[in-house]
């Protein structure tokens, strides 16, 4: 059994998710087409086997959440928390993504061709995120590890309380958060952006690595300063 199709207008999502978790890994399923998602929440969450999932239409909250190994494509837009806590694999949103996209992702690659809402990449822990459009305020808040490439603009407080994650922004930055700063692009940064844009796919071929700015942590929050009077 190589390829399957599920129509959520006819089959309950719980049935589909149960099959993907319990039966599909042992049956050699490699491709799954899910139609008529109609904004349903929790589509294809927690997968832990190499499978290609295509969701034709708009997905609700947490699509592809806790992903491991799977490659998931949403041909429409995605609601809050797409690819949240992803461990590995790939989640690709052809449209827009709502708040908290890629939150706490430990690994894998999240690609968003459109804009992303507030707190994209919040508490990022090692995953990579490439956004073709702009991101909302407080994106990469407390991002601990991983990389973000933002081909559009960034809202307020980008990288607030940033740790070791590195952000690359092509457009304007409304404001930087606490401890985030713009740094010079090194050759290694140019190579990183080039590789991530290539991995994101043909929709990102138009962008040149040298047009991006590097945002990283100034590391002044790494140690408590009793004399700072809470002014950071």
How many other CB atoms are there within 10 angstroms of residue 172's CB atom?
10
pLDDT of 2 = 82
Provide long-range contacts, Cβ within 8 A and 24+ apart, for 117-123: 117/80, 118/155, 120/148, 121/146, 121/148, 121/165
Q: Closest Cα partner for 102 from 70, 133, 78? A: 78
Do 150 and 169 contact (CB within 8 A), yes or no? Answer: yes
The C-alpha angle 129, 193, 64, rounded to 5 degrees, equals 15
For the domain spanning 37-217, the CATH number is 2.160.20.60
Do 58 and 78 contact (CB within 8 A), yes or no? Answer: yes
Cα–Cα distance, 142 to 65 (Å, whole number):
20
The residues pairing with 149 across neighbouring beta strands, listed in sequence order, are: 130, 168
Q: Could you list the pLDDT tens digit for every one of the 232 residues in the chain?
A: 688 999 999 999 999 999 999 999 999 999 999 999 999 999 999 999 999 999 999 999 999 999 999 999 999 999 999 999 999 999 999 999 999 999 999 999 999 999 999 999 999 999 999 999 999 999 999 999 999 999 999 999 999 999 999 999 999 999 999 999 999 999 999 999 999 999 999 999 999 999 999 999 999 887 766 676 655 5
Domain boundaries, the chain: 37-217
Q: Is the pTM of this model over 0.85?
A: yes
Cα–Cα distance, 230 to 111 (Å, whole number):
37
């Amino acid at each position: 059994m190589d390829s399957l199709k599920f129509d959520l207008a006819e089959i309950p999502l719980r049935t589909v998710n149960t099959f993907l978790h319990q039966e599909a890994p042992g049956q050699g399923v490699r491709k799954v087409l899910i139609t008529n998602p109609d904004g349903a929440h929790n589509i294809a969450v927690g997968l832990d086997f190499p499978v290609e999932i295509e969701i034709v239409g708009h997905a609700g909250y947490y699509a592809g959440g806790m992903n491991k190994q799977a490659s998931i494509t949403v041909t429409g837009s995605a609601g809050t928390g797409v690819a949240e806590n992803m461990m590995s694999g790939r989640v690709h949103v052809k449209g827009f993504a709502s708040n908290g996209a890629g939150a706490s992702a430990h690994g894998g690659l999240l690609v968003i061709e459109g804009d992303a809402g507030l707190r994209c990449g919040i508490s990022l822990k090692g995953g990579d995120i490439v956004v073709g459009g702009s991101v909302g305020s407080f994106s990469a808040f407390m991002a601990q590890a991983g990389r973000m490439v933002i081909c559009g603009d960034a809202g307020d407080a980008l990288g607030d309380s940033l740790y070791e994650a590195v952000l690359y922004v092509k457009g304007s930055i409304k404001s930087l958060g606490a401890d985030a700063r713009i740094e010079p692009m090194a050759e290694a940064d140019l190579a990183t952006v080039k590789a991530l844009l290539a991995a994101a796919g043909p929709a990102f071929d138009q962008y040149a690595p040298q047009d991006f700015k590097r945002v990283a942590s100034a590391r002044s929050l790494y140690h408590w300063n009793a004399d700072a009077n809470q002014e950071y």
